[in-house]
């Protein structure tokens, strides 16, 4: 058997704290669920910032969505 019992330490991506890479740590490579959520939140905020670059297309689409329903209702 390979040395599976030998727990290797990994640095938490959020707080850089060393935590054991083992089955007992379901949040690996994070040291805690809190750090895992922080990292997911940072990732989500980054993804939300991307659509802002295509704001011109969003304006065009939203304009059509606003005008067309008004015409159909009138």
Q: What residues form the annotated binding site for Zn(2+)? A: 12, 15, 31, 35
Q: Which is nearer to Zn ion, 16 or 52 (by Cβ)?
A: 16
Residue found under tokens 């990732």:
43
Please, are residues 31 and 40 in contact by the beta-carbon 8 Å criterion? no
Report the Cα 61 to chain-centroid distance in Å.
26
Please, are residues 61 and 55 in contact by the beta-carbon 8 Å criterion? no
Phi, psi (deg, nearest 5) at residue 19: -135, 150
Which of 6, 9, 10, 12 lies at the binding interface for Zn ion (CB under 5 A)?
12
List the x/- string, 35-74, binding to Zn ion by CB under 5 A. x---------------------------------------
Instruction: Note the residues at the interface with Zn ion (CB under 5 A).
Output: 12, 14-15, 17, 31, 35
């Amino acid at each position: 058997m390979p040395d599976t019992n030998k727990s290797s330490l990994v640095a938490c991506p959020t707080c850089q704290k060393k935590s054991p890479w083992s089955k007992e740590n379901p949040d690996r490579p994070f040291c805690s669920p809190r750090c895992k959520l922080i990292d997911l939140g940072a990732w989500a905020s980054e993804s939300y910032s991307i659509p802002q670059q295509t704001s011109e297309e969003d304006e065009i689409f939203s304009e059509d969505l606003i005008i067309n329903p008004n015409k159909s209702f009138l």
